[in-house]
Homo-oligomer: A and B are copies of this chain.
Amino acid sequence: MATSERIYTASLIIIGNEILSGRTQDANLAFIGRRLNERGIRLQVVRVISDVTDTIVATVNECRAKFDYVFTTGGIGPTHDDITADSIALAFGVENKPNDEAYQLLLDHYGDPEKINSARIRMAHTPVGAQLIHNPISLAPGFQMENVFVMAGVPRIMQVMFDGLGDRLVGGRPLKSRAIDARLPEGAIAGGLGKVQERFGDIDIGSYPYFREGLVGCTLVLRGADETQLDAAAEEVRSLVRSVGGDPVDETT
């Protein structure tokens, strides 16, 4: 069963010089990673790229061919550096044109077409064929073109957009996880851990070292769709930690 199961994959493209410069700490990756896990879709790669048309076009085209879903964040506002919609249109070889539904949203907000300046009207442009992703917080909607979901960069806005996607995303069995803080350096258990991994081929076991309060330790995270297997593997990991004198602590995942 496990081997014939359809695996759904995704990539995330974070568009924005402000993330690359280190000025702004990205908060979208972790949110999207967790949400996709819950929906049984595996986030396989994230690319953070700059606001450059050619880079966006090439990255989107590479990712939409490789993954079931592509998500982008950033660059959908009204300013000169908001080039995501133009770039997505180029990637799909279609025009970026005023979208009736998006224009109506602007009109509902401003009341008078005279108040919709040329910069604001850019927010109502989408590539031909796009379906809107509603933005209940500010005026710029996101949009979906085939398997590409174009969302805002502001975390609060991106989150409501993502959570509004509903059944536009189809996934497989969600991956479940168990996490165990070994409170020991990795070297003390590395050999045994590799052997547990060999015995549980359908479980992915990761060891994540940390350095806290002057101590080096590691958290062992097990992931898999089958909870019986997962619990059996987790118990072996706890025994391993105890066998070298450790006191494993379960963490919430």
A residues in contact (CB < 8 Å) with B: 16-27, 29-37, 43-51, 55, 77-82, 117-120, 122-123, 137-139, 152-154, 156-157, 175, 177, 179, 185-187, 189-191, 193-194, 197, 204-211, 216, 218, 221, 223, 253
Contact A30 B37 (CB under 8 A): no
Q: Are B117 and A23 in contact (CB under 8 A)?
A: no
Contact A119 B221 (CB under 8 A): no
Additional A-B contact list (11), CB under 8 Å, known A22-B32, A26-B26, A80-B194: A16-B208, A19-B29, A20-B33, A21-B34, A21-B37, A22-B31, A23-B30, A48-B48, A77-B187, A80-B205, A153-B208
Query: Which label, helix, strand, loop or mixed, suits the secondary structure of the A interface?
Result: mixed
| A194 surroundings in chain B (CB, below 8 A) | 79-80, 119
Q: Assuming the A-B contacts A47-B45, A79-B207, A138-B185, are A191 and B119 also in contact, with contact meaning beta carbons closer than 8 angstroms in the complex?
A: yes
Minimum Cβ distance to chain B for residue A229 (Å):
17
Which chain B residues border A46 with CB–CB below 8 Å?
19-20, 46-48
Q: Are A208 and B44 in contact (CB under 8 A)?
A: no
**Which residues of B are found within 8 Å of A44, using beta-carbon distances?**
20, 49-50
- In the bound assembly, the distance between CA atoms of A218 and B81 in angstroms comes to 13
Question: What B residues does A45 contact at CB under 8 A?
Answer: 20, 47-50, 55
Within 8 Å CB of A79, what residues of B? 186, 189-190, 193-194, 207, 218
Bound-complex Cα distance A49 to B77 (A): 29
Closest B residue to A198 by CB, please name it.
B80
* Given A25-B30, A47-B47, residue A209 in contact with residue B154 (CB < 8 A): yes
